[in-house]
Amino acid sequence: MLLVVSGAASAGRGEPRCPGAHVDRRPSGPESLESLRSIVPEGCDIVVVDPAAGPLPSPAVYGAVVVTGTPAGAGTKWIADLRGAVERGACLLAFANPERDVPGDHEEHAAWAELLGARVASVHPASEWFAKTVTPGDPLTRRLPPEFSFVDRLACLDTAADAVPVLQVSIAFSDRSIVLDRRVGAGRVVTAGTSTDPSVLQHPELSKLFRRVLIPPAALAASEQAVGVGILGYGPYGGMGHYHGLTVQATDGLEIVAACDPDAGRRKAAEEELPGLRTYASADDLIADDGVDLVIVATPPSNHFALALDLLRAGRHVALEKPMCMTLREADTLIEAASRAGVALTVHQNRRFDADFVAVRRCVTAGLLGQIFNVETFVGGFEHPCRAWHSEVSVSGGAVYDWGSHHLDWILQLMDGFPATLTAHGHKRVWHDITNLDQVRVRLAWSDGREAEFVHSDVAAFRQPKFLVQGTEGTLMGTYRALRFERIEPPFGYVIDHAHHAEAPAELTLARYEAGIGLFETRLPVTDVGRGAFHRNLADHLQFGEPLAVTATSAARVVALLEAAQQSTDRGNTPVSLPSL
């Protein structure tokens, strides 16, 4: 079959456009239309054409072409036309795995091999491979890990002409190329020795590489300019402004250029901790800085909406600290403002990237628990709450807006659909120097009977599990583990420090039921995605138009639950009907 993708992706500032792509795939190939979509830049239209019904469409009208195997029957004229399109700036992504190859005309095969500038040197069965990025400075591999693993059957490639290795694997202690890049005129030809199985096309790193191949080289090169980042809110006590500044510094493609805080002492701290940036006392001054493309809002939540709205209307990309804002109406207004301005809007839901939650989500996605019908999460202990603004309702929004921003987001990531009703039960019994509730329990109910619960307590002497996920085939539990740092400091002797209980990844245990055997337990390893995953994704989105890991719409769903939970406790712990989202 021939899959033709036409049209142009709408793009905000710094987002390259996709003039179109068409994909020739063998009828016996295991890839699905949905998996092929995962490597097509967002917004492109898809049209399916059957070559058996007539001549192939002229490649001259498409900006990118993807071919799996040898395009037998295409004809030397079509290949010559394709070469002409590439020379004028189009992109060709060819999957050369010989399992897709079929008999064809000798001249046709020769013309195809000459265009690729590569040939299959060896074929290897399905196994785990470790791909190494050979050209880390190239846009194709920008921000990809130096090495990552994947499972696939593989064809190693020999270079001919002027093809350059992009990815290599080590076999028998020898580096072998599996992805080659060749410039042909104003365009490029990339040959891959992988299969086109869904697990390959949807691999988090390989899909980025293949998607970038479909962006015209000129647009890809133009996207290499660093994104200027400003931080709005540079609070004390190891605040998030400092964290974002350091993480931006460590992220290729992002450049920290400015910070804004009304406090002169905090501006001085920013200048000392992040040398070379410009500092401002007001958001208006920050907005007036033309070198600022993206603003990370790291102020208390009560300020998020007004500041973000001004920034979006001024044409700035915006990343908000969690929670996004205080009400669903505010969230919808921000989403509409971002759409009107053609800029990016996201929320730093950083706990989506926690090593334990990533492992929990993989377990659920893989179907190891069957159909999920109940999720419970907990955070807290029995100790005095913090005395910063986080514990003041008028600034933070209330206890549920703090950790609830993460835990309710986790629940929505694990459970399909949106709950129908919410009931929150709050207690104010012990800590009277702060206005947050001492404990809040949020219960969610779906229309089909599924349920979930989140508890945040500062009066729970025994901690409940961090995660409890029930499915029709098993249960997953994640338990907190304390972090203690013990040492001897002369002349004082024994010293111990305690880290916050929520910082260390939970210990994850999966229990599954098997008929005739009963329960068996498995300890699950956590999945470390590396520091700065949110910021790397943000750079990928702004430079290459790749999908945001945290969409504004998904963050607005969390806000809807937070708002409803506060309403429920304010009204005497009564149920609240939720909107259909």
Tell me the three state secondary structure of residue 278.
strand
| Distance between CA atoms of residues 436 and 581, nearest Å | 28
pLDDT of 194: 94
pLDDT band at 98 (very low <50, low <70, confident <90, very high): low
| Per-residue model confidence as pLDDT tens digits over 214-252 | 887 777 877 778 999 999 999 876 679 999 999 999 999
Average pLDDT, the chain: 88
Query: Given a cut of 50, is residue 5 above it in pLDDT?
Result: no
Tell me the three state secondary structure of residue 211.
helix
Intra-chain end-to-end CA distance of the chain, in Å = 37
Query: Given a cut of 70, is residue 383 above it in pLDDT?
Result: yes
More confident residue, 216 or 490: 490
Query: Given a cut of 80, is residue 450 above it in pLDDT?
Result: yes
| This prediction's pTM | 0.89
Q: Is 51 exposed, middle or buried (0-12, 13-18, 19+ CB in 10 A)?
A: middle
Tell me the three state secondary structure of residue 189.
strand
What's the mean pLDDT in 505-534? 93
The answer to whether 334 and 311 are in contact (CB under 8 A) is no
Q: Parallel, antiparallel, or unpaired for β 474-479 and 484-489?
A: unpaired
| Distance between CA atoms of residues 414 and 476, nearest Å | 12
The answer to whether 539 and 250 are in contact (CB under 8 A) is no
Amino acid at 212: R
- The residues with which 321 forms a beta bridge, in sequence order, are 348
Q: Where are the alpha helices (DSSP H) in 403-551?
A: 404-414, 533-544
| Per-residue model confidence as pLDDT tens digits over 412-445 | 999 999 999 999 999 999 999 999 999 999 999 9
* Structure token pair of residue 377: 């999460």
What's the mean pLDDT in 76-105? 80
What's the mean pLDDT in 130-136? 92
pLDDT more than 90, % of the chain: 70
| Per-residue model confidence as pLDDT tens digits over 349-380 | 999 999 999 999 999 999 999 999 999 999 99
* Structure token pair of residue 429: 């019994």
What's the mean pLDDT in 107-130? 91
| Per-residue model confidence as pLDDT tens digits over 280-319 | 999 999 999 999 999 999 999 999 999 999 999 999 999 9
* Structure token pair of residue 270: 């920013």
Cβ atoms within 10 Å of 129's Cβ, excluding its own: 21
Query: Given a cut of 60, is residue 339 above it in pLDDT?
Result: yes
pLDDT band at 78 (very low <50, low <70, confident <90, very high): confident
Look at the alpha carbons of 149, 150, 154, 156 in this order and tell me if their dihedral is positive or negative.
negative
User: How does 443-462 read in b/e, with b if 16+ C-beta sit within 10 Å?
Assistant: bbbbeeebebbbbbbbbbee
pLDDT of 34: 64
Lowest mean pLDDT across 25-39, 174-188, 519-533: 25-39
Residue-range domains of the chain with CATH: 2-222 (3.40.50.880), 227-351 (3.40.50.720), 352-531+554-577 (3.30.360.10)
pLDDT of 217: 79
pLDDT of 65: 86
40-49, 206-215, 438-447 — which one is most confidently predicted on average? 438-447
The answer to whether 438 and 460 are in contact (CB under 8 A) is no
pLDDT of 289: 97
Amino acid at 353: F
What's the mean pLDDT in 91-98? 82
